[in-house]
Every structure is written in structure tokens, then in C-alpha cells.
Structure 1
Amino acid sequence: MTSINRFIQFNNETVDTGLLNRMQQLARALSSAPYLRLTTRKLWEFRPSEGAVSMSVFWRHRPKEIEEAGYLSDIYLMGAGFWRHFSLRSWRDFEQSESRLPDLAAQLLLMAEEFRLSDRIVAERPGTRHVFEVREKIAIAFHTDQLEQNRKKGFWADAFLNAAYLKLRGKEASISEELDPLFLSWTDLFSADSTADSVRTIQRIMPRLEYLLESDILHTYYTFGEPAEKTPPPRYHEGIEAEQSGEQEEIDTIEEWFQSWHRETELNNAAALEYELERGDSKLADGGREEEGSGEVEQTGTGESKGEHKEDNLADERRKDEKKPKKANGRFGSANDGVVYYESRIEALPIDRQRLQHWRSEQAPYVRALLKEMQKRMQQRIESERTNLHAGRLSKNLLPLITDERPKPFYRKTAPSKQLDAVFSLMIDGSASMVDKLDETKQSVLLFHDVLRALHIPHEIVVFYEDAYEAGDDQQPNYFEWLHKFTDGAADHAAEILSLDAHEDNRDGFAIRWMAERLKQRPEKHRFMLVFSDGEPSAYNYADNGIIDTAQAVSETGKMGIEVMHLFLSGEPTSEEQAAFYRMLYGNKSVSADSLEQFVEQTLRLLKRTLHLVVQAL
């Protein structure tokens, strides 16, 4: 897990998850693609193989209204412009043509298309005019400055692109006597109606540019993202007839390009295909069902006999299941599609019973005080009857209606005493940075465990982490180790808690969604999830998108009726920046332990807060 306090301040930036989430919803709505993901990169771009588009960080570090307008203009350009009105066929043909200045040619075409599609969007959606005016104002200032810089440095290809942008916006721009006449042909873009028209205009000026310019453009002002020809191959079942396969239709729009990749991903994640790949049914093709009996035994069943061996067999089967990896397969957020995860009980190590007894004796006053407070509050809620009230049930004694000036003939009965209708889960960050906080964390977890055991409240305690050494592009192994499970009831698992250890990375959004799936199945009315962590999410390919993924996971879990709370564990006083960061992820449900000594105190505070909510609902 990486810390928020980075050495270089300009690297100490976090994504505004609320803003990014709104932009992502807008991008999905404009493109009618609910699977679309939105990220931030140096320039806006398309990445169909990831199902993602990117806004440009060019708009950062500006006044809030300009930053938001800039992001909106990127989204409108991609979702309402390029998505359906940019021709990949013309783009591919253009890229395949030979040129001595391929980068300059490609960027000029994207600039021309941005100009054409901006006008089209404003004409179709007049409400977008303001954001494009802001975009144009900022971009004009940028290219004016860059033109001057590039002319001084002799970067003539870059200077031509800067001047070309200014010419399209009706601004005066001059480079040299040789290059300036080319802008007469460049202004033909004012009448371009398609990508093919833009291509023809650029192809007219490129021969002259190749003759006058000695080198290609040095800087990148526009990028398309993935190469336009990078489309997934057609996928056919092995048994399909050759004449049925036909030819793959050529993809001409970005919308079709993304849909093609999305269908490919769905096929790869299909349960039936996964079964064929993992288990195999090749015997049927070779010799039919008659030959099946000749194969080796692949699976054994467990009978329903009442013998003593049954429990042992079930335990063995359970241990085998825990060793099998499970695939996320898109169930836990798109940022976690490559995750495989393992679920198991933590291995209880020999414990120092003297230390355990010392911790419990220190915490005993806190536990007793909390239990006494809960019992008192519960008793107040179960009074048998309250009389002489202005409202409620009408009493049988109606004499006060005649004798009293202000009669109170009503009474109330409260619900009889019952068990607290709540369930808790505690998620513990198992990343390497927890190593210096293990003792304090164990004490806090032990307090959490003892209080809920005493109140007979079902709870689950899990440590989660990612194996950083085995994680790669293909898969990212994650592990969940139970210290206590819902089915364990009031069993004492202090030994497991004291066996808690630090590992490598943490994928918080994935872990929260995984636990939310378990809590969603619980019948209790009140469901709480507590997350103990000491920093921001950090895992393979899980930087900015990890922050966004975690914030979205918290939001989704809240919509399920599960309250997510967060305790930030730190050995130093919490800075305002850190507090603001966690408020962005968890809202007002995040508290901080400013010192190692406060871990237990803050855990107690979280428990009090949640239990009071439960008691009030009795």
C-alpha cells in the first residue's frame, strides 16, 4: 500500500471520484454503452480492448469551472462525436498511406476531426456551446504560446500544427513564407462533412509539408489511443461449418469497435466456455459417450450416510474447495476483471497466552462499560407501558376526558425485548505497510470480537491482500483469510486474531464488493461493514483507477442497505489532506486513529455508534 504523503508534492494528487463518476455516467449515456469505463490520461483517447475512454489531465490545476467544462468537452467529443461519426475505414486507409511525416499527418487529421465534430455537437446540442467555448479559449492560449516556443526552437512541424489550430479558430498565425500558403488549402476543412473530407484536405497539403520539413513532429498534442486496426478476430465454434462462417464485417465506427471487443470479453467470460476450457469434453468428439467410462475419475461425491466419517469427508471437501482459485469474471467491478481469489481459514499459530490475557484484562473495563450501556439502553426501549400521553392507544379509563382540563387518555406499548437484529463484518487490510501496526490492530480486532461475542451478534473477520509477486497482466491473485466466520457463532477465535500477519498489496474495491455479496445474503435488518486500513488502495494496475473503484464499491454497497465505515490506522497525526482523501472514498463514515494508542479507542467508538443505531430501531 502506498502512502498519501508522497515525496514530490505535484505527485500527491488524487482523483475527484465524485466528478469522475458523473463524467463516466455521462459518457455511458451519450454512447449508450453501459459497460464503458472512464479514466484520466495525458490526452483524451480510446482503448476498446479495455472498454475504456480517457479524459485529458490537460484540464487539471485550473479554476474548478474551467476544469469541469474541459472534462465535459472531452466527454462530448468522444461520446457524442467520435463515437458514431468518425470513420475508421477512412482512418485505416489514411494510416496505410506512406508518409515521411506520419505523426504530423495523424495529429492533423485528429485536429481536423475535433474541429468538425465540435461544430456538429454544438449544432445538435446547443446546451454544449458554453463548454466548447471554454475549451476553445484555453486551447487558443495554449497553442499561441506553443507556436512562439516552437518557432524559437526551430520545431517547425510542431509550429505548423499550432498555427493550424489557430487558423481554424479564425486567429492570425504565421510561420514562414514557404509554409503559410498551405493554410489556404487547410481552410477547406470549414466545409468538411465527413472523415473522408478531412482526409482529402490533409492529403493535399502533406506532399508540400514533406518537402519543406526536415523532421516529424516532436510533441504529442493528439492521440487516438489503440491502433484503429486492432480489432478482435472473429470467433467461431470448432464444429461450425466452413461455409457458415462467412467473412467478418468491416468495423467502421468506434461504437462498433468497442462493441466488438465487449462481445469478445463476454465470450471469454461465458460460464459454458470456461467449463470447456477448464474441464474439457473432447471425449465426446472422439468416441461418443460409450468411451466416457474409460477415463479417469475426475470428481468424487459425498454420501448422506450417518456414519462418523461424514464430517471428516465434508471437512476434506471444504479444504479442497478453499485451495481452488475463483475468478472475478466481471462480478466485482471492471477494474478487477483479472482477479483470481482464494478463500481460506487463517492458520492459527501458537500464541502467547500471557500477552492475550494482558490485552483482555486491559480491555475488560471497555467491554463491560459498553455492555452495561447497551443493556441500559435496551431496557429503556422495552418499558411495558407509558400512560397519560397526548397520542397513542386510547385507554379504557375515559374519566379524565370529563374531569381534566387537558386530558391525556392515551398510552403506548413498546416492542418486547428481543435480540439485536444486526450483523457485522470486519475487513482488515493485509498489506505490507501494516507490519508496524500489527499489535495495535490485533488489540482492536480482539475488542471487536469480544464485544460482539458478548452481545451474541453474528460477525465475520477477514484479512484481505493481493500477492504482488505473482500479479501480472493475465491475473492478479487475491486472498481472503477468515479469522472468524458468521457460522462460528460465539466461538472464541483469539488464537486466529493473534496469528494475523502483513503480506503485500491491497485491492480495496474488490474486497468490499466481495464482502458485500456475503452480507447481502444475511437476513438481519442492520448490516455493517468496517474496513481497517492504513492508506490508499495499492495493487497491480490499481493506482488512480483503484481509488475510483473503491469509491464506487462503497457507493454500490451503501445502495444495498449495507453501511460501510472506515478506520484509518496511522502512527502519525492525520493530515487534513489524508482526512479529505478518505472522506472522498467513504463520505462521513471515515474516522482516524491519530496515534497507535488510539486504535482501541476508535474501534470502541465505531462499535458504540453502530450499536446505538441498532438499539434505537428496537
Structure 2
Amino acid sequence: MASVNRFIQFNNETIDTKMLHQMELLAGALADAPYLKLTTRKLVELRPSESAMSISVFWRHRTKRIERNGYLSDIYLMAAGYWRDFSFGAWRRFKQVDTALPSLREQLLLCAEEFRLSEKIKAARPGTAAAFDTREAVYTDYHEDQFQQNLKKGFTSDLLINAAYLSLRGVEVNAGERFNALSFIWTELFDARTTMDSVKVVNRIMDRVEFLLESDALHTYYTFGEAADKAPPFHYHEGIDAEESEEPEEIETIEEWFQAWHRETEKSEAPAMEFELERGDSQLAEGGREEEGTADVQQTAKGDSSGEHLEDSDAEDRQMASKPKKAEGRFGSANDQVVYHESRLLAERDHRLEIEAWRNKQAPYVRALLKELKKRMTQRQEGVRSNLNAGRLSKKLMPLVIEERPKPFYRKTAPSKELDAVFCLLIDGSASMIDKLDETKQAVLLFHDVLRGLDVPHEIVLFYEDAYEASDAEQPNYFQWMHKFEDRGRDHAQEIASLDAHEDNRDGFAIRWMNSRLKRRTEKHRFLLVFSDGEPSAYNYAENGVVDTANAVSEAKKQGIEVLHLFLSGDSITEEQAAFYRMMYGNKSVSADSLEQFVEQTLRLLKRSLHLVIQAG
């Protein structure tokens, strides 16, 4: 797990996940494509194979107003401009032409199209003008500065791109006598209505520039994203007769390009599944529909802590451990290549002496909390509210005679005997937890003992990713239960004392996995506690891991699941770290500033959560 407090400050980049999520929703709404995802890259890019658009990190480290308007202008340009008004066919034909200056030629066209599309969007949507005004002001200053630098260094092709941008914004610069004459051709872009109009202007410019310049542009100011000739994959599966190939449908817009990729991605597994169903392949249960309908549902059963179902569950756990499952789009796009394993965490040695010492130390806190909570529950059950406008009619009817507005009704509070709540605890199993294991085990044991004492169903799960086996094709993740819902009052202190540190942590995936189990529960109050000691860190899960985790927390809240986060640290937490975790978990993130505070903070979280449950009845 990477630490938030990196030693090189300029590497300590964070992103406003809430704003990025809002931008993603806006992009999907403008393009009428809910499947669109949003990422950040050096420049704006179109990435249909990922169903993603990328906004530029160019806007970072500026004022909040400029940063927000800059991101908005990126979204408007791609989702309301390029999406339907850029000719993909014309771009593909443009790219097929051989030239000695390919980078300059491509960037001039993208510069021309940005200008054309920006003006078109502002005319159609006046509300976007403020964002584009900010974009124009910042980029004008930027290109003026770049123009001077390129002029001094003799980077003539780069200088020409700067001059081209500035010319369209009414800023006159002296690029030399040979190039100033080209500005008359360039001004024809003010009358351009289509991508082909822009292509014609750029081609006329390049016919002259190719004889004047010897080297291509060195800097990249504009990029398109994925190659135009990168077609959606065709999935062929054995046993399905290949039909005669047909002429591929001509793609004319970016929207059609993205839809083609999205459609193929959605259907990628369908032929194989259909063939296996027709053939009756028993292996379907390992990665198909049966898998989704079995294990998780059975684990939500409620019952007495003794009985045959526990033995059945243990047998299923052993069988489950040998069946890895594929995420396949069910747990967020950042986790599509995850393969996960579920199993019980087994105690490898006897920890009775450690457990006894920990419980003796925690006993006063556990007894006090249980006594307080049970007292509150009893008061709640016996409480009577009188002087109400509706309810049961009181035997004391005198107020009907003597009061102008009598309230002769009362109502008894009658909560259920058991707390209508369920708790889950996810424990970060990354390598950086190794120096906090004893304190973490004690905090988890406290969590377990309090909820057992109140007969509240709960789960305790260790999660981690195998960093050594992770690759582009597959990222193995592991979930190890120390206690499951159906275990009810069984004591799993031995398993808790056996938890260990491993490699990486994919927090957003783990939260979604637990959410999928929690949302099937019938309890009124559902809580998910996450114990971790740093930011998400896994294969291809750097900056997008922060966004993915924040989105997972947001999704859980929409499903009525309360997510609480405890940051475990051996040192005092900095304001930067606190802000970082608030960004992912909102105001439900607390920290333990020292190893001694782990148990204390766990007690605080539990106490606050259970008081809310009792108060709500």
C-alpha cells in the first residue's frame, strides 16, 4: 500500500473524486451514453475500448474556479462537440495520407476542430460560454508563453501550432515572413462548418509548410486518443459456425465508434455462454449464471448458532475456496480483470494465551458498553409517550373537558427485542499492515465480542491482492472470512488472532464485493466498517483506485449502507491525510493517531452506530 505522505511533495497528487464523479455524470448525460467513464490524462483523449473519455490534468494546481471551468470545457468539447459533430470517417481518411510532418498535420487539424466545435457549442448552449471563456483565456496565455520559448529554441513546427491557436483567438504574433502569409489561408476556418472543411484548410497549409520545414513538432498540444483504425474485437468461440463475413458498418461519428466498442464488449461472453447452455457444459457454474445465483445468497441465511446448517456452510466454504470467480464488470470498470477467491481464514496455531490477555484487558470496556446499550434498549421498550394527537386513548379523559385543545392519546414504544442491524468489517490485508497487526487484532476482537454480546449478525473479512501474480490479464484478489453472518454467536477469536499481512489492497473492489452481500440483508440498519492504513494500491490501480473507492462508497450510500472508515496510523495524522480520506469516505472517516488508540476508536465507532440503531427503534 502506498502512503499518502510521500516524501516528494509534487508526487503527492490527489483528485477531487466528488467533482470527477459529477463530471462523469455530466458527460454521460450530454452524450446520452450512461456507460461513459471519465479518467484523467495529460491531454483530452477519446478511448472507446475503455468506454472512457479523458479530461486533461492541465487544469490542476489552479484556482478552484479555473480548475472546474477547465474540466467542464473538456467535457463540453468531447461529449457535446466531438461526440456527434466530428466526422470520424473524414479523420480516418485524413490519417491514411502519408506526410513528412504527421504530428504537425494532426495537431493543426485538432486545433482547427477544437475552435469550430467550441464556437458551435457556445451558439447552441449559451450556458457553456463561461467555461469556454476560461479555457480560451488560460490557453491563450499558455500558447503565448510557448510561442516565445519555441521561437528562442528554434522549434519552428511547434511555434506554428502556437501561432495557429493564437490566430484563431485574435492574437497576432510574428512567426516570420514565410509563415505570416499562411495566416490568410488559416482564417478560412471561420467559415468551416464540417470536419471536411477543416481538413481542406489544413491540407492547403501543409502543401506549403512541407517545403518550408525539415523537422516535425516535438511537443504534443493536441491528441486524439486511440487510433482510428483500432476496431472493436471480434470474439469467435469453438462450436459456433462462423457466418459469412459482411462488410463492416461504416462508422461516421465518435458516438458510433464508442457504441460499436460498447456493444462488442457487452456481447463478448454471450456466444460462449449460449454454446455451453446448448451443449450442457457442466463448467458453466465456474464462470456463468449459476455462479451468480449460488454462494452469496446462501450466506445471508439467519438462524440459530447451533445446528446442521453450520456444518453445511463449512463444507460449502471449502468447496468455494477452489472456485475462483471473475469480476466481469460487476464491481466497477477499474476491476474488470479481477479474479477473486473466497475462503475461511484458518487458525494455524493455538492463540489462547494471547486471546485471554486481550480479553482481560478489554473486558471492562465490553461490559460497560453492553450494559449501557441493553439499558437503553430496555428504556426504549418501556417508554411511553403521552399527550399525542393520535394513538391509544388514555384512561385520563379530564383534559377533554378542561383543555381547549386536548391531547388524550398515548403511544407505547415497542421495538423488536433484537437490534435490527447488521455489521460488516473489512480489514486491509496489505503488507504495510504488518507493524499494526497486534493492535488491529485487538480492535477486531473487540468488534466481534460486542456484537456477539448483542446477538447482532456480522461478518469479518480480510481482503488483499496478490501483487506477484497480478498482470494485465488477471489480478487475483482474496477474501478470507474470520466470521460469517450465519455463524451468529460462534466465537472466532482464534481466526481473528491468525490474520496476517499480505501484499496489495484494492479497496473499491472490496467495498463493492461486501456491498453485494449487505444489500441482500433484510435488516433496517446496515453498516460497513473499513479498517485500513493508507490509500488503495494495486495493479493498475493508482489514481483511478482513489476514484473507484470514492465511487464505491457513494454507491453503498445510495443502497442505504452506512460506510465508516478507520484510518490506522502509528503517527499523528496530518491535515492532508485527513482531507484525503474525507474525499473518499466523506465525514465518516476517523483516525487513530497512535497504536494505543485503535481499540478506543473502534469502540467509539461501534458505540455511535449502535446508539443510532437503538434511537431509531
Matches within 5 A, 1:370-449: 370-383=369-382, 385=384, 393-399=392-398, 401-402=400-401, 409-415=408-414, 418-449=417-448
- From the superposition, tell whether residues 240 and 404 of structure 1 become closer, same or farther in structure 2 (CA, over 3 Å): closer
Residue 283 of structure 2 corresponds to residue 247 of structure 1: no
Deviation readout 1:498-554 (Å, 9 max, x if unpaired): 110001111111111111111111111111110000111111111111111111111
Q: Is contact 2:146-2:159 (8 Å) kept?
A: yes
Aligned to 1:573: 572
Structure 2 letter corresponding to 1:414: T
Paired residues, number:
592
In 2, Cα distance between equivalents of 1:520 and 1:47: 33
Q: Is contact 1:269-1:329 (8 Å) kept?
A: no
In 1, Cα distance between equivalents of 2:313 and 2:416: 38
Deviation readout 1:230-284 (Å, 9 max, x if unpaired): 11245567777777542111222111111111112112243x624757997799x
Structure 1 letter corresponding to 2:42: K
Matches within 5 A, 1:258-407: 258-270=258-270, 273-274=272-273, 276=275, 318-383=317-382, 385=384, 393-399=392-398, 401-402=400-401
- From the superposition, tell whether residues 28 and 385 of structure 1 become closer, same or farther in structure 2 (CA, over 3 Å): closer
Describe the SS at the equivalent of 2:134: helix
Q: Is contact 2:351-2:494 (8 Å) kept?
A: no
Report the CA distance between 1:183 and its aligned residue. 1.5
Q: Is contact 1:529-1:565 (8 Å) kept?
A: yes
Aligned to 1:303: none
In 2, Cα distance between equivalents of 1:546 and 1:388: 54
Report the CA distance between 1:450 and its aligned residue. 0.5
Q: Is contact 1:456-1:490 (8 Å) kept?
A: yes
Describe the SS at the equivalent of 1:588: helix
Q: Is contact 1:378-1:615 (8 Å) kept?
A: yes
Deviation readout 1:39-67 (Å, 9 max, x if unpaired): 11110001111111100111111111111
Residue 119 of structure 2 corresponds to residue 101 of structure 1: no
Structure 1 letter corresponding to 2:330: R
Structure 2 letter corresponding to 1:33: A
Structure 1 letter corresponding to 2:128: T
Matches within 5 A, 1:60-209: 60-209=60-209
Report the CA distance between 1:407 and its aligned residue. 7.4
Structure 1 letter corresponding to 2:47: R
Q: Is contact 1:463-1:482 (8 Å) kept?
A: yes
Q: Is contact 1:267-1:273 (8 Å) kept?
A: no
In 2, Cα distance between equivalents of 1:22 and 1:469: 35
Aligned to 2:48: 48
Q: Could you list the structure 1 runs, at least 4 aligned residues long, displaced by more than 6 angstroms after superposition.
A: 236-243, 277-283, 309-314, 388-391, 403-408
Q: Is contact 2:235-2:268 (8 Å) kept?
A: no
Aligned to 1:217: 217
Aligned to 1:289: none
Ranges in structure 2 where 5+ consecutive residues have no aligned partner: 283-307
Q: Is contact 1:234-1:248 (8 Å) kept?
A: no
In 2, Cα distance between equivalents of 1:573 and 1:151: 50
- From the superposition, tell whether residues 255 and 562 of structure 1 become closer, same or farther in structure 2 (CA, over 3 Å): same
In 1, Cα distance between equivalents of 2:609 and 2:311: 39
- From the superposition, tell whether residues 238 and 252 of structure 1 become closer, same or farther in structure 2 (CA, over 3 Å): farther
In 2, Cα distance between equivalents of 1:525 and 1:170: 62
Describe the SS at the equivalent of 1:134: helix
Aligned to 2:607: 608
Structure 2 letter corresponding to 1:128: T
Matches within 5 A, 1:518-533: 518-533=517-532
Q: Is contact 2:237-2:272 (8 Å) kept?
A: no
Q: Is contact 1:530-1:566 (8 Å) kept?
A: yes
- From the superposition, tell whether residues 213 and 280 of structure 1 become closer, same or farther in structure 2 (CA, over 3 Å): farther
Aligned to 1:226: 226
Structure 2 letter corresponding to 1:59: W
Structure 2 letter corresponding to 1:214: E
Aligned to 2:6: 6
Describe the SS at the equivalent of 1:610: helix
Report the CA distance between 1:397 and its aligned residue. 3.0
Report the CA distance between 1:351 and its aligned residue. 2.7
Deviation readout 1:561-582 (Å, 9 max, x if unpaired): 1111000000000111111111
Q: Is contact 2:344-2:481 (8 Å) kept?
A: yes
In 1, Cα distance between equivalents of 2:331 and 2:338: 9
- From the superposition, tell whether residues 167 and 558 of structure 1 become closer, same or farther in structure 2 (CA, over 3 Å): same
Describe the SS at the equivalent of 1:465: strand
Aligned to 1:296: none
In 1, Cα distance between equivalents of 2:280 and 2:171: 68
- From the superposition, tell whether residues 67 and 427 of structure 1 become closer, same or farther in structure 2 (CA, over 3 Å): same
Q: Is contact 2:83-2:255 (8 Å) kept?
A: yes
Structure 2 letter corresponding to 1:538: S
Describe the SS at the equivalent of 1:140: helix
Aligned to 1:475: 474
In 1, Cα distance between equivalents of 2:242 and 2:487: 57
In 2, Cα distance between equivalents of 1:367 and 1:279: 57
Deviation readout 1:466-523 (Å, 9 max, x if unpaired): 1111111111111100000001111010110011000111111111111111111111
- From the superposition, tell whether residues 124 and 238 of structure 1 become closer, same or farther in structure 2 (CA, over 3 Å): farther
Aligned to 1:535: 534
In 2, Cα distance between equivalents of 1:10 and 1:502: 29
In 1, Cα distance between equivalents of 2:533 and 2:367: 29
In 1, Cα distance between equivalents of 2:331 and 2:436: 29
Q: Is contact 2:317-2:344 (8 Å) kept?
A: no
Structure 2 letter corresponding to 1:541: N
Aligned to 2:555: 556
Cα RMSD between the aligned structures?
Answer: 2.4
Q: Is contact 1:343-1:479 (8 Å) kept?
A: yes
- From the superposition, tell whether residues 582 and 241 of structure 1 become closer, same or farther in structure 2 (CA, over 3 Å): closer
Describe the SS at the equivalent of 2:368: helix
In 2, Cα distance between equivalents of 1:329 and 1:486: 26
Report the CA distance between 1:379 and its aligned residue. 1.6
Q: Is contact 1:351-1:498 (8 Å) kept?
A: no
Describe the SS at the equivalent of 2:583: helix
Structure 2 letter corresponding to 1:362: K
Residue 489 of structure 2 corresponds to residue 490 of structure 1: yes
Describe the SS at the equivalent of 1:609: helix
In 2, Cα distance between equivalents of 1:389 and 1:30: 51
